[in-house]
Structure 1
Amino acid sequence: IGERGGNAPLAELLTSLRVIHGDTRFDLSHLTELSRIALRGAGLGEAFQSGPTTPHAFAYELPGQLSHPHAYETLPAELVGNSRELRVRSRLTTALVRWALADSGLEVDVDAFTPWLAERQERDGRPLLDRDTIRKAAIDFRPVPA
């Protein structure tokens, strides 16, 4: 807010100072919440927002990005109070499904579940899937007996 009026975007400025100059004077952990409050107060939606505080700044659809974020991120999501998330439409793979189901306590045949979920995804118009949606679908999944 205000970037168009010549004001520097706070989140981008502070994270750039951290990454480029190693400046650790500022606590960045509240930047995401601060950005949300500012946008809400200004009556602007998420589409107006840019940078590391956006809801999808750390949203990935490849298992490597989720398993090894340090290889893809200049700074971790948690540093700015954001979170790393799974968001996928068409790149649904068994590796990604395994990642989504890890630590869920659900026992699912991933090799059978993944194509079932991909087919459902196609049928429903490729809605955006996140970790919770994949876990809920795993609960609904009932493999056809051979």
Structure 2
Amino acid sequence: MRASGRRVYAINPLAVARFRDRHAVSRKKSDHHDAVVLANILGTDASLHRPLPSDTDLAKAIAVLARAQQDAVWERTRAHNRLRSHLREHYTAILDAFTGKRERLLAREARAILAIAPSPAEAARLTRNRLRSAVTRAGRQRRIEA
């Protein structure tokens, strides 16, 4: 709303609740009714409420970074879900191997194994030594034999 040039006011929720009681006795909340109540508050008592100050350049930069981080998290989740869906159809053994783990397919070990054995046929050809070295390179330090 600020980007479009509108003033944004900070109104105490308790004040809104009391003003709502003045206009409706049912105490039932609805978005339409709340919008009318907020418009009436600013229409009658705008001088009692202060508009929020405009954002500084630093605050705007933080908002951009926070949005980019959220987009990255959503994209990672989408990619993880797509990968899990494809593996469920074509490579269920890798899903079974990491089902009980905390990070499941997001674990470094799972990614390391998928890198050296991207298909069930290649996984069948893996030796214990190659598997052991892959999980060690991925950072595992304990329970390497497991």
User: Could you say which TM-score interval applies, normalised by the shorter chain?
Assistant: under 0.3
Q: Which has the higher contact order (CA 8 A, sep 6+)?
A: 1
> TM-score of the superposition, structure 1-length normalised?
0.25
Higher helix share: 2
